[in-house]
Amino acid sequence: MKILSPVRFRGNTFPHPPRAVRPETFLPFVFLAVFLVIGGLAVVTSLKQQRKAREQLAGLARRFGLELLRQKAKLGFEPPPTVAGRYRSRPVRFFNYTTGSGKSRTTWSAVTAAVGGAGGLTLELFPENFLTRIGTALGMQDIRVGDPAFDQAFMIKSNDPAYAAAALLPEIRARLLAERQRGARGHLTIKNGEVRYAEMGEFDNEARVTRLAEMLEPACDLAEVAEVYTA
């Protein structure tokens, strides 16, 4: 039996074995992959929310005979559309707006009804809560309309308390209380020539869209009352 002699390399030395790759070498690639996956999921989620919001707003446009006004997409993302037109013989809108900036930036969904004429009445209506009760105790204005259920549910401020209390007619109070019971926690205001009801969040939430749709009628009712106001 022939015995093979060991292989010898030039210089009578064996080559160095390949160095083992350390796990930390792959960490940058792992982080990059995770970043791309998270970024991709965020983009997909955002696009789904945009599509849902457009569908909800298109439904509002059909329901009230209004127009869906879309904006040009930027980098693949389309800004939220606006629904606008005339309802009960007055301009109305459903739209988004933002307040604050950076980490304090907040997106709101709103419905407005225009107030014709000079008017001048201002009114703010907030859901009653712990903070508003503290404010009232410290002297903040809180108008009472003489309806215990309504007075307990809302805090009211106005430049004309007597007129504001009279303007909140029983049928308007009933609508507002019904929406409060359905979960409405937004703010209703009369100022700058419009009645506005706004909630935090966007139009991709079906419950929020339903509440905003139901608030269009009381917004128009209050616009009619505000139009006949004379200071």
Q: 82: which residues sit within 8 A by CB, 6+ positions away?
A: 57, 68, 69, 93, 94, 95
- The pTM of this model reads 0.76
pLDDT at position 85 is 98
Task: Please give the pLDDT value at position 184.
Answer: 84
pLDDT for residue 160? 92
Q: How many CB atoms lie within 10 A of CB 32?
A: 10
Neighbouring C-beta atoms of residue 118, cutoff 10 Å:
10
3 state DSSP class of 191 = strand
In order along its 231 residues, the chain shows pLDDT tens digits of 555 555 555 555 555 666 665 666 666 666 666 666 665 655 555 557 778 989 999 999 999 999 999 888 776 677 889 999 999 999 999 999 999 988 889 999 999 999 987 668 899 998 887 677 777 766 677 899 999 999 999 999 999 999 999 889 999 999 999 988 888 889 999 999 999 999 999 999 999 999 999 999 999 999 998 988 865
Please give the angle made by the CA atoms of 180, 155 and 145, to the nearest 5 degrees. Answer: 95
User: Angle at CA 31, nearest 5°, toward 30 and 32?
Assistant: 90
Give the model's pLDDT for residue 161: 92
Which amino acid appears at position 28 of this protein?
Answer: P
